[in-house]
Chain A
Amino acid sequence: MNLNFKIISALFAGIFAVGMLIYFNSFTKNYFERNNDIVKIINSLEREEIKLDYEVLKSSVFLYTNFDIIAKTEDKLFSLINKIKDHPHFTKDHQKSYKQLILYEESLNKKIEAINDFETLNASIKNSSMYLTTLLNRSFSVFNSADPKQREYLNRTVSVISSIFLAKNSFDSDFLKNIEDHLFYMKSIDFVSAKQREFNNLLQAHLRLFLNYFPKYKELLDTIMQSESKKILDNLEKTFIKTANDELKVVTLFSTFLILLFISSIGVIIYFLYLTEKENIRLKRLQKDLQKLATTDALTGLKNRFILEKDKLKIKNPVFMIVNIDKFKHYNDFYGIKAGDYVLKEVAKRIKETVPSTLNAGFYRIGGDDFGILFENSSNIDIESLAKNIIDYFRTDKIVYQNIDMHISVSIGITTQKPLIEKADMALKYVKKDHKSDYAIYDDNFGFYEKIEENLEKTKILKEAIEKDKIVPCFQPIIDNKTGDVVKFEALGRIESDENELVTVYDFLDIAKEAKLYELITHSMLIKCFEKFAVHKYEFSVNLSMEDLTNKRTMDLLKNLLNTHPETAKRVTFELLEAEAITDYDVLKDFTALVKSKGAKVAIDDFGSGYSNFEHILNIDIDYIKIDGSLIKNLDKNKNAKLIVETVVAFAKKAGIKTVAEYVHSGEIAKIVKEMGIDYSQGYIYSKPEKNLQC
């Protein structure tokens, strides 16, 4: 079911119900108005008919009345009947009542005809009876009561007239017999006097009129008073009310139906609303899930980088931290990816626990082992102590995975400047490089941008130098402290610029390693040194790193050189950088054995700078220890440096290893070095590294 259908059907149901209500309203209004009207008219008819009867009675009792009232009442009755007929509803829906109305009209017509007839008879009877009183008055002047015949006539006259009045006022026909008898007598009698004859004739005429008219008169009055019309009207009213009530039942039924319809249409609307709402909820849930999926890192449950990009726009004064797990690759490689994932999850969890919830910070996983924390800065937030807390937390708390304790440390790069991710990353890199602190807040002085530029520039220079074969060895003499003679030269890599300037290659080594150029530098140095010292019969030393020892091509080249220059091989010393973590001593041992077999010697360079391990030194057959320059140059100032150097020298002597001091840059140092019994020295006080051998 689509939305349009729902809307249309709800709308339709609503309109239908409203339409029905309006219709129902007008229907009931019409119904009551029209029924009231008709009942009212019927009641008026009843009243008017009673009035009519009253007027008829009045006209029969009173000697003269105003017939207009009767005529008007008649007119009124018919106009009322027509008023009912004017209701089309009545003639159509109340056919039974309508038939009765027609019957009533007919009966009323009959009644009115009877009234008209009655009026005629009534007028004559009244006029006659009135005239009889006039005759009665006259009778005593017309007839002589002294005459027995005439007295008899007079008596009969009084008697007959009183009978007429009795009959008329009692409406009793029993008196008519008496009148007939008198009339018979009066017919039979004959008077001589014309006046008396005339009186007798007139009296007889009136008596005849009365005898003729009275039975009809009585009958008509009965007909009028007991007219069927009233009964019919009564029936009409009952019938009408009954059908109206039946109609009302239909109306009630209809209204019930309408209410049911209304309720059910509301029900339908509610049902559709419910469906829509249900669908909405489902969609919202789906949307939420999708959003979560799109915004959350599946492993840690933190927000992802995508959301970070959005969130950082919402914050005015952001503080952004990148928390990096130190040497995470180590855990991954050592314990497996599952352990690595576990570590990531735990770290994510702990970072969240450590940061106070009042900061409303957002937590993100922005890269492999990089976690982001973003929050609004304010004056009462101590960013540094927050970073320290995180670091300390990991320092004191271990992560246990399948009974393995893992001590995690983290580094944090922090920034309050935009672009947040880049600058926090720089700060982190700074931390990683500097090692002095586990966190750093970004500072424009980091100059990382320049460093990147510089790196690019260096890479370019280095590549060019290699291509043009401009990597050249320079040589610094090493002095025997006892004799002051130059006994050896250390070959140091230099890049010769187009302007013939020499730049130490040392600064390029990191770049070289990154750019995979390192071995080429070593190769160039080795080849050039062996060529040089094949000619000049001096001892010399060349620097090798652990990386060189593990590089097969370098080792192959070295073996080749040693074999092809056996005489030169006996004068070479390989200086191994102690500063680098020596992880694989077997490689070192193999190397030492190899070069020694060719008569070459081995030195440990920069001894005392890193984790100097005397045991390893002893295990490997070392010829020289070169004490780290940073210790030597501080010998006159730093007691600790002196102590370390003394210890190293004492150890070397006992182990039969010769010692060399680097960075001897002043007379003072040279004196101390000699006093301490260090065998050889090199430094600027004797000579800088030069392209040509300085003897």
Chain B
Amino acid sequence: MIRLLSFFFIFFITILYAVEPIVPIPESIEYKKDKALLGKLLFFDPLLSADKKISCASCHDFDYGGADPRDFSIGVYGRKGVVNSPTVLNSVFNFRQFWNGRAKDLKEQVIEPLFSPVEMGMTKELVEERLNSSKLYKKEFKKVYKTEVITLDMVIDAIAEFEKALITPNSKFDRFLKGEIKLSTEEEKGYLLFKQLGCITCHNGINLGGNSFQKIGAIIPYPRKKSAQDRYEVTKREFDKNRFKVPTLRNIILTAPYFHDASAKTLYDAIDKMAYHELGVKLTWEEKNFLIAFLATLTGEKPKILDEK
């Protein structure tokens, strides 16, 4: 019996420490600055919403980790959305965009909220008309795109370029990975737990998530709302119900509430729910504190482009 146990243990350890599955965010990323700055201008401009009251930044608040502190974002004319806004930070590293991954890249992603009636409520014609009648944008687009006529494609291109620049390097954990600093005991214990509990199975890679689709409620079923934008919305396969793109854990302490349905108001709630539905366990107070200590190390520097003009 003991021998068998030892075998399992050795096997477990071997597999557990085989690779380092988290990669630090690079210090900088390649992007076209003039284009990104034009994208930044657009990102913050309510002109791009039907009632000229909200901008992209209304629901992707950089004071809240590029996400929306509200459960569900409010669009034009006070219309309410059905999912919690995911963070725009580091989204360039995601393998798909949106909770259910229906956009394959940033450019595809930009269009949807722009045209969604519950978000910005625009049309292609309206976007082009508004921007073409703006002296400022005429001037700026001419500088960047050498054009007299602004088209939607350029708008999307510029915003996507800005989003590309939204990376948060040099988090404490990244600096630890790069061997620059050491983690505190709590943080170290948290990271070990993170791996032992199997969080890392899904939250891995550069974004600790954002690179696979997983089921919420693998062990204990999770209640599914019909409006939930899961993979099923895209594929209509039974298997895809309650299956979402794994969200990033970068800057996680800034982006409450959590989950697609914003059902976890705090990180404690989120950890409890994950442990319960994915593993069927209840974690001790101490374990959760360790995990949160680790998660807190994932907050990086503010993207440089936000301070640039």
Contact = CB atoms under 8 A, between A and B. Distances in A.
Interface string B1-31: 1001100110110011011011100000000
B243 A127 contact: no
A66 B205 contact: yes
Given A63-B18, A66-B23, A116-B213, A123 B202 contact: yes
B289 interface: no
A209 B219 contact: yes
A687 interface: no
Contact of B279 (A74, A117, A131): A131
Contact of A209 (B195, B212, B218): B218
B49 interface: no
A130 interface: yes
B214 interface: yes
Contact of B201 (A64, A71, A162, A165): A64
B21 A66 contact: yes
B218 A62 contact: no
Interface string B242-284: 0100000000000000000000000000000000001111000
Contacts of B93: 68
Contacts of A136: 5, 8
A124 interface: yes
A117 B205 contact: no
Interface string B206-233: 1100011111001110000000000000
A188 to B, nearest CB: 20
A210 B278 CA distance: 13
Contacts of B278: 127
B160 to A, nearest CB: 16
A292 interface: no
Interface string A582-603: 0000000000000000000000
B205 A126 contact: no
A64 B21 contact: yes
A119 interface: yes
Interface string A111-153: 0000011011001101110110110110000000000000000
Q: How large is the interface on A (under 10, 10 to 19, 20 to 34, 35 or more residues)?
A: 35 or more
B8 to A, nearest CB: 5
Q: How large is the interface on B (under 10, 10 to 19, 20 to 34, 35 or more residues)?
A: 35 or more
Given A120-B212, A127-B218, A209-B218, A65 B95 contact: no
A127 B218 CA distance: 10
- By CB atoms of chain B within 10 A, which of A74, A117, A127 has the most? A127
Contact of B18 (A62, A133, A201): A62
B198 interface: yes
Nearest to A115: B212
B201 A66 contact: no
A130 B15 CA distance: 10
A67 interface: yes
B219 A128 contact: yes
Interface in B77-134: 93, 95
- By CB atoms of chain B within 10 A, which of A68, A119, A158, A201 has the most? A68
B12 A65 contact: no
A406 interface: no
A206 interface: yes
Nearest to A117: B239
B205 A119 contact: no
Nearest to B18: A62
B7 to A, nearest CB: 9
Interface string A547-561: 000000000000000
Interface in A511-528: none
A205 interface: yes
Contacts of B280: 131, 201-202, 205-206
A61 interface: yes
A67 B4 contact: no
A61 B1 CA distance: 25
Interface string A39-77: 000000000000000000000011111111011001100
A127 B15 CA distance: 12
A66 B19 contact: yes
A120 B214 contact: yes
B205 A62 contact: no
B47 interface: no
Given A205-B219, A209-B218, A123 B201 contact: yes
B4 A162 contact: yes
Given A66-B205, A202-B281, A133 B220 contact: no
Contact of A62 (B1, B19, B211, B281): B19
B243 to A, nearest CB: 6
A66 B95 contact: no
B105 to A, nearest CB: 9
Given A127-B279, A136-B5, A136-B8, A65 B215 contact: no
Given A62-B15, A68-B211, A120-B243, A130 B218 contact: no
Nearest to B17: A63
A133 B239 CA distance: 27
Nearest to A169: B11
- By CB atoms of chain B within 10 A, which of A63, A128, A158, A201 has the most? A63
B74 interface: no
A525 B10 CA distance: 176
A63 B213 contact: no
A119 B213 CA distance: 7
B211 A67 contact: yes
A127 B198 contact: yes
Contact of A120 (B5, B207, B213, B220): B213
B15 A71 contact: no
A468 B9 CA distance: 174
Contacts of A75: 95
A165 B7 CA distance: 11
A61 B11 CA distance: 11
A63 B201 contact: yes
Nearest to B12: A133
Contacts of A67: 95, 204-205, 211-212
A66 B198 contact: no
B177 interface: no
A127 B274 CA distance: 12
A127 B212 contact: no
Interface string A378-414: 0000000000000000000000000000000000000
Contact of B204 (A65, A120, A209): A65
Contacts of A126: 198, 201
Nearest to A61: B15
Given A124-B218, A205-B220, A71 B211 contact: yes
Nearest to A132: B8
B19 to A, nearest CB: 6
A51 to B, nearest CB: 15
A417 B279 CA distance: 139
Contacts of B196: 130, 134
Contacts of A162: 4, 8
A61 B18 CA distance: 10
B200 interface: yes
Contacts of B22: 66
Contact of B205 (A68, A124, A130): A68
27 contacts: A62-B15, A63-B16, A64-B204, A65-B21, A66-B23, A66-B205, A66-B211, A68-B93, A68-B206, A70-B211, A71-B212, A116-B212, A116-B213, A120-B215, A123-B212, A126-B201, A127-B218, A128-B218, A128-B219, A130-B198, A136-B5, A162-B8, A165-B11, A205-B220, A205-B280, A206-B219, A206-B280
Closest 8 pairs (CB-CB, A-B): A68-B205, A71-B95, A127-B198, A67-B211, A63-B15, A124-B218, A119-B212, A66-B21
Interface of B: 1, 4-5, 8-9, 11-12, 15-16, 18-19, 21-23, 93, 95, 195-196, 198, 200-202, 204-207, 211-215, 218-220, 239, 243, 278-281
Given A63-B18, A66-B211, A68-B204, 16 more contacts: A63-B15, A65-B19, A66-B19, A66-B204, A120-B212, A120-B213, A120-B215, A124-B214, A126-B201, A127-B218, A130-B12, A136-B8, A165-B8, A165-B11, A206-B219, A206-B280
